[in-house]
Structure 1
């Protein structure tokens, strides 16, 4: 199951752009925890904690415990982070509060097993990843950390589909009605060095050149 990550937060007293700018001047990132039919909680984060999560990758499928100082600890998903277009510093962050037993829509990364021993790859094929993440509906308490696809028997030309996922943990893909492709083992691309034939005009010029040279060497007729 996916790991729950604890992230510290401070409470904010006021909403609005002015209050958010004041929070940033204090060196913090303003944010909000919303959802589950409860009043939104205004919070602020250490930007280093936010960037640490950004660098991990797959943060949209991680579960967080937002621990508000002198306040509640909220179980939530990180839904959106706004960045400064010039400095790339986080400007605002949204967390969605999770209710017990709720099913949530998340993107789960895909991991490919036994790539080094895959028969198709060993014979020159290439792993063509169609979906590095799969968006699913999953129970809050059983969100998988990743989906695994085994390549141990995959050969050139094979397609690995949703049905090839080893364990979906009860998650249901948002794509319905078809067994969609996650990856394929593509045939190697062969590039042949071809020598282009000279254009017809060049060929004709080459054929005329010896005749012209012979004519130049021939003695002129006496008049």
Structure 2
């Protein structure tokens, strides 16, 4: 995805306010051993881009003054109640160095899961994204989690997810191995199932 930005010379609250009135969002680009660069981005274009999942988890081509650089979106500050982006941060990426970032999880085959269809289980998504590390060229837009075989009462943990080639969990996620999905059976459904199995006493 490509982002067009312009160099910004003035900083401070007053300058930022004037930018926003003019339909621009102030921002900054930092990292990879270069000086931080002040930028401004068209607010409406940024607002619509932020609604796309891939904008938050993909390597972006940021063009400033005719020069392109690869970046990741690192932080967005929103106005507390207005539809307004106050500030945006991008981090430059080095193609030869691994990066740490969060990617969204896409859950597959939930509707066809036997535990849901016949076992009365309710699949609960505990995590919507997961923190991984990889080289920039191997960064996936999302990671698929197959729920076809999760059984009633079971949980799926981070280390159960099949990761794309070159992608690994960051060390703290690896060690904690948090629950990603659980498939509890509600007490009512369980009691009903037990009642069907137990013949009525004469």
Q: Distance in 2 between matches of 1:155 and 1:86?
A: 42
Q: Distance in 2 between matches of 1:187 and 1:87?
A: 41
Aligned mate of 2:144, from 130, 142, 148: 148
Q: Distance in 2 between matches of 1:190 and 1:14?
A: 63
What secondary structure does 2:175 align onto? coil
Q: Distance in 2 between matches of 1:77 and 1:149?
A: 24
Compute the TM-score of the two structures, normalised by the length of structure 2: 0.83
Q: After superposing the two structures, state which structure 1 stretch, 13-22 or 30-39, moved more.
A: 13-22
Say whether residues 1:107 and 2:102 are aligned partners. Answer: yes
Tell me which stretches of 4 or more aligned residues in structure 1 moved more than 6 Å.
none
Q: Distance in 2 between matches of 1:100 and 1:151?
A: 33
Say whether residues 1:40 and 2:36 are aligned partners. Answer: yes
Compute the TM-score of the two structures, normalised by the length of structure 1: 0.76
Deviation of residue 178 (structure 1)?
4.7
Aligned mate of 1:23, from 19, 22, 35: 19
Deviation of residue 188 (structure 1)?
2.8
Say whether residues 1:89 and 2:84 are aligned partners. Answer: yes
Deviation of residue 149 (structure 1)?
1.6
Say whether residues 1:51 and 2:32 are aligned partners. Answer: no
Q: Distance in 2 between matches of 1:16 and 1:127?
A: 48
Deviation of residue 24 (structure 1)?
2.0
Q: After superposing the two structures, state which structure 1 stretch, 150-159 or 120-129, moved more.
A: 150-159
Say whether residues 1:10 and 2:10 are aligned partners. Answer: no
What secondary structure does 1:177 align onto? helix
What secondary structure does 1:141 align onto? helix
CA pair 33-119 structure 1, distance change in 2 beyond 3 A: same
Aligned mate of 2:183, from 182, 185, 193: 185
Aligned mate of 2:117, from 112, 122, 127: 122
User: Matched residue pairs, number?
Assistant: 187
Q: Assess if the C-alpha contact under 8 Å between 1:144 and 1:169 holds in 2.
A: no
Q: Assess if the C-alpha contact under 8 Å between 1:143 and 1:169 holds in 2.
A: no
Q: Distance in 2 between matches of 1:27 and 1:62?
A: 25
**Residue deviations 1:89-133 (CA, integer Å, cap 9, x gap):** 111111111112122221111112111211111122110111111
CA pair 129-17 structure 1, distance change in 2 beyond 3 A: same
